[in-house]
Amino acid sequence: MGYFQISPFFGKNPKINKAMSRRDYYKILGVAKDAKPSDIKKSYRERAKIFHPDANKGSKKSENQFKVLSEAYNVLSNTKKRKEYDRERSQKDSHRRGPSKGWGSSESDRWGYGFGNQEPQDRPRQGGPSGQTAAEDPQPHDPNAPTRGFDLQFMADVDFVTVALGGTISYNYEKYARCVSCEGTGETGGKTCAECGGKRQIVKEANLTVKIPPGVADQHVLRLQNEGGEGMNDGPPGDLFLKICTKPHPIFKRKKNDIYMEVQIPPELAENGGPLDIETLDTVKTIEVEESTLTGEELRIPKNGAAILWGKKRGDLIIKFAIVDSKI
């Protein structure tokens, strides 16, 4: 799957307004404040795949999320805009009052871009994966209360046959985890932890073996419980939401549980009929081509299509013949 085109939401050298400076663009993009331009670009592209309007037809929420994501990228990818944004944020932080760091109090946490939605454990979650955040709650929170980890949303490109018949994939991703250097306190020797910058968590790589259900549909979202970001202060971890994106196959096409393929045959076989070996999803079968077969005629082979979700039954394989003269 290719990357989505970056949307230019701003003109040349726009000033950073108050609404923009209130948003934590670094959290929205899931990068550190000292992130390199290449890391910012990589993170933007990963999140753009999830929230791009083309991938979420008719979703106003996703459209708005993509706009904010693009807004963040347009600022942080431009050296001049980024310096101005950092200066505005620094001035704002020096006069800020309210919840302390680590409570997901920024606007970005409501979006669930991958590192959103970390909440005190004693409060009910609202609104699904992106839930309520400290920024929406007028009551101050105890920074030492157990806090649920972030929910993560990513996309996984999965082989056509694995999606059709089920199987497992190895999936690598990044998530927030407890900082080992400061043991999750944010400080070492009375000073701000150099490893996590006082955030008490760091981004680390994770690997999972994910089971793909037989016959799952393209764009289906799997929820992997407790595989999201680690919680804080002994809070439970978040969940991982994985959208299945089926890789195209050079031979097969899928419609619901049926598999379609085109088979080219020479004129002699079409006229006289006879046996022919063909590739199916999981084996090679010998079929019988009937006499006087014409281009466009179809042959249905029962129970050789994609699996029916969560069941042992399968759809059909539909073969469409095309007569091709190899001598021409």
Crossing angle of helices 60-76 and 37-51, rounded to 10°: 170
Instruction: List pLDDT tens digits, range 155-197.
Output: 999 999 999 999 999 999 999 899 999 988 899 999 999 999 9
Amino acid in position 249: H
Could you tell me the residue ranges of all domains in the chain? Answer: 1-97, 111-248, 253-323
Which is more confidently placed, 14 or 113?
A: 14
Judged by DSSP in three states, 162 sits in helix
Evaluate whether 71 touches 9 at the Cβ level (below 8 Å).
Answer: yes
113-62-30 Cα angle (round to 5): 15
228 has a pLDDT exceeding 70: yes
Just give the CATH number of 253-323: 2.60.260.20
Instruction: List pLDDT tens digits, range 10-23.
Output: 333 444 455 555 68
132 has a pLDDT exceeding 60: no
> Which of 186, 196, 195 lies closest to 100, judged by CA?
186
Tokens of 299: 């042959």
111-248 and 253-323 agree in CATH topology: yes
**pTM (predicted TM-score):** 0.57
Instruction: List pLDDT tens digits, range 261-270.
Output: 999 999 999 9
Q: What's the mean per-residue pLDDT of the chain?
A: 79
Beta bridge partners of 223: 241
Just give the CATH number of 1-97: 1.10.287.110
Q: Which CATH fold topology does 111-248 show? A: HSP40/DNAj peptide-binding domain (2.60.260)
Which is more confidently placed, 52 or 284?
A: 284
Amino acid 187: pLDDT? 92
